[in-house]
Chains A and B, each alone.
Chain A
Amino acid sequence: MFVYEKKLQYPVRIQNVNPQLAAIVISQYGGPDGELGASLRYLSQRYSMPYDALKGLLTDIGTEELGHLEMVGSIVHQLTRTLTEEQMKEQGFAPYFVDHTAGVYPQAASGTPWSAATMAVTGDPMADLVEDMAADATTM
């Protein structure tokens, strides 16, 4: 069960709209190594984890990743919150805008929608932990 706290983990306050940047940052929301994948990876791998310490760790990290997802979503939202037609066209945001307008959709910067094919749940604790290290190494 999850309880929502109506706050961000870290303040997001973006003064200037920048659709060009939003089109890149969206990958951290729903790209192959984004926060959605991180959260679902940890929260799904915990069912086959035999050790209590790591059941707890996967639960707590997977939950924190949902907080990261919310921060990245906030960044994309604020970068596109007041968008003129010129800004949208000139800054390469039209391919995103045509399907999603100013909504925040879980996709990679390439336009590929988020897919569970970008993560692994093998049921083998060692294989899963090694996959976690590979996934997190992309953001370190």
Chain B
Amino acid sequence: MNHQTDQAENGVMTLPQCANADGQLPSCAPLANPYVPFQQTGADLYTASCALIRGTLFPGLDLPYGGQENTQEKLATASVELQQMGFALQELALYLDTHAEDTEAAQLFNQYVELYQQAIEQYQQGNGPLTLMDAAANGTYDWLAGPWPWEYRKER
């Protein structure tokens, strides 16, 4: 008994004939195989400053919850610069984890590594050490000086 043929004869709908182990939507996809679309290579990217505000480097993954969009521009402080470069680097690393063969993305990753290192140097001049590696770079142990990252500071 062919259910799909019956439907066609009744004029309800016409569906393609698939193997027993296949289903519909998409056409004749194997049964019981859920999938998530794989991110394509060479897609457009946001700038690092835009990415930090949007929460993603990839316009294709920019899906604001309930249509609520963060549009608050950040001031150009050494701290924000560090966060922007760090976030772009993080986003590219996660992308490259599953797209290691994308040499263009790898080159961009290297450019952001350089920009991140420059941002660290700028940041450390006014804000103290970022990691223990630089904690005593000035000859004294400056690691403990606040404010610590979770503490409220008035300035932006």
Which residues of A does B touch, CB under 8 Å? 3-15, 53-54, 56-57, 60-61, 64, 70, 73-74, 77-78, 81, 130, 133, 140
Contact = CB atoms under 8 A, between A and B. Distances in A.
B152 A78 contact: yes
A10 B83 contact: yes
A103 B91 CA distance: 32
A10 B150 CA distance: 11
Nearest to A12: B150
B148 to A, nearest CB: 7
Contacts of B9: none
Given A8-B149, A8-B150, A57 B52 contact: no
A86 to B, nearest CB: 21
B98 interface: yes
B83 A11 contact: yes
Nearest to B63: A140
B31 interface: no
Interface stretch (B10-18, B103-111, B128-136): B128-136
Q: Which 10 A-B pairs have the closest CB atoms?
A: A74-B150, A57-B97, A56-B97, A8-B149, A78-B152, A53-B98, A77-B150, A5-B130, A7-B149, A6-B130
A60 B79 contact: no
Contacts, number: 74
Nearest to B90: A64
A14 B87 CA distance: 21
Given A60-B93, A130-B34, A11 B79 contact: yes
A57 B98 contact: yes
B149 A57 contact: no
A70 B63 contact: no
A4 B83 contact: no
Contacts of A15: 152
Contact of A6 (B74, B83, B131): B131
B66 to A, nearest CB: 11
